[in-house]
Chains A and B, each alone.
Chain A
């Protein structure tokens, strides 16, 4: 059974510092890994999707890496801003479509002005 873990559970940094969020999964037979952002009481916004054959994906200040063989992904957020304060979730799936995502517990980020 796939288990996804995110460490740390919470993180507080001053504005401008780079953020490093970690995600690990126990079963390396994944199809893709997604990073989501969740604001309090809100839905899930997809940030980045990495296919199992890829090593990284970038979007603006966000960069996600994937080491499938070791069961790890890292989300980097450069030059953090107070607006980056949210919970960040990673999730993996085994198949291209119609298959469930297994989520980590999230990392709650606070960026202090």
Chain B
């Protein structure tokens, strides 16, 4: 079964550094998403992306965050200057019309900001 792939599975960085989290969505999917889950908290929506632009973003997704689909297969989340509170599990997801809105999630990248 096709799956969403995320790399790396773990990322450790120093506060203030830039990080890029990478995702390869399912190949025929058209909508792409990033979610995050801070330890012990709910999974939170960050951003959705369609037709090479952001379709919706949450209040969490401020100017420190950006997303890109650089080459038609990868979907990336960049955090420009990481803060301690950015430490979380980041999930990529994708979906396609005609499946009732079902989202397929990757296995996540655990980001630790020291």
Binding site for B on A (CB under 8 A): 31-32, 34, 36, 41-46, 49, 51, 89, 91, 93, 95-106
Main secondary structure of the interface of B (DSSP, over half): strand
For the complex, what is the distance from the CA of A98 to the CA of B32, rounded to whole Å?
8
Shortest CB distance A32–B (Å): 5
A-B contact pairs, 17 of them (CB 8 A): A32-B101, A43-B105, A43-B106, A43-B107, A45-B105, A46-B105, A49-B102, A95-B101, A96-B101, A97-B96, A97-B101, A99-B48, A100-B48, A101-B35, A102-B45, A103-B43, A105-B41
For the complex, what is the distance from the CA of A91 to the CA of B91, rounded to whole Å?
15
Query: What is the chain B residue whose CB lies nearest that of A51?
Result: B100
Give which listed residue, A36, A89, A100, A104, contacts B45 with CB less than 8 A.
Answer: A100
B-side interface residues, number (CB < 8 Å) = 30
Shortest CB distance A102–B (Å): 7
A98 / chain B contacts, CB cutoff of 8 Å = 31, 48, 50, 55-56, 95
How many A-B pairs have beta carbons closer than 8 Å: the answer is 69
Contact across chains for B101 and A49 when beta carbons are under 8 A apart: yes
Contact across chains for A97 and B97 when beta carbons are under 8 A apart: yes
Which residue, of B6, B41, B43, B102, has the highest number of chain A Cβ atoms within 10 A? B43
Digit string of B70-85 for contact with A (CB within 8 Å is 1, else 0)? 0000000000000000
Supplied contacts A43-B105, A97-B101, A101-B45, 8 more A-B pairs, CB within 8 Å = A32-B101, A41-B110, A42-B107, A43-B6, A43-B106, A97-B31, A99-B101, A105-B41
Contact across chains for A34 and B108 when beta carbons are under 8 A apart: no
B42 / chain A contacts, CB cutoff of 8 Å = 103-106
Question: With an 8 A cutoff between CB atoms, is B104 at the interface?
Answer: yes
Shortest CB distance B1–A (Å): 11
Which residue, of B44, B55, B91, B103, has the highest number of chain A Cβ atoms within 10 A? B103
